[in-house]
Amino acid sequence: MNITKNLGMLLLAAWLIAWGLFSLIPALSGLGIVLAILAIAAGVLILLNR
């Protein structure tokens, strides 16, 4: 399995996994701020091609 060296894509992957867990497990409702920060960071890094 190859793991990308693109930090933006890694953050996007982390965000997608966290969002999936957030949707499946209601006890994780406090992740809203963390998900927002991850989404912003991933978007900026993808735009910068990093």
* Run of H or E residues at 12: helix 7-24
pLDDT tens by residue, 25-41: 777 667 778 778 888 88
The per-residue b/e assignment along 9-38, b for 16 or more CB within 10 angstroms, e otherwise, is eebbeebeebeeebeeeeeeeeeeeebeeb
Q: For residue 2, what pLDDT is reported? A: 65
**Cβ 9 vs Cβ 46: under 8 Å:** yes
Judged against a pLDDT cut of 70, whether residue 12 lies above it is answered with yes
Instruction: Please state whether the predicted TM-score (pTM) of the whole model is above 0.75.
Output: no
Mean pLDDT of 13-24: 81
- The mean of the pLDDT values for the chain is 78
Q: Which residues contact 33 (CB under 8 A, 6 or more apart)?
A: none
* Run of H or E residues at 26: none
Q: Show me where the domains of the chain are located.
A: 7-47
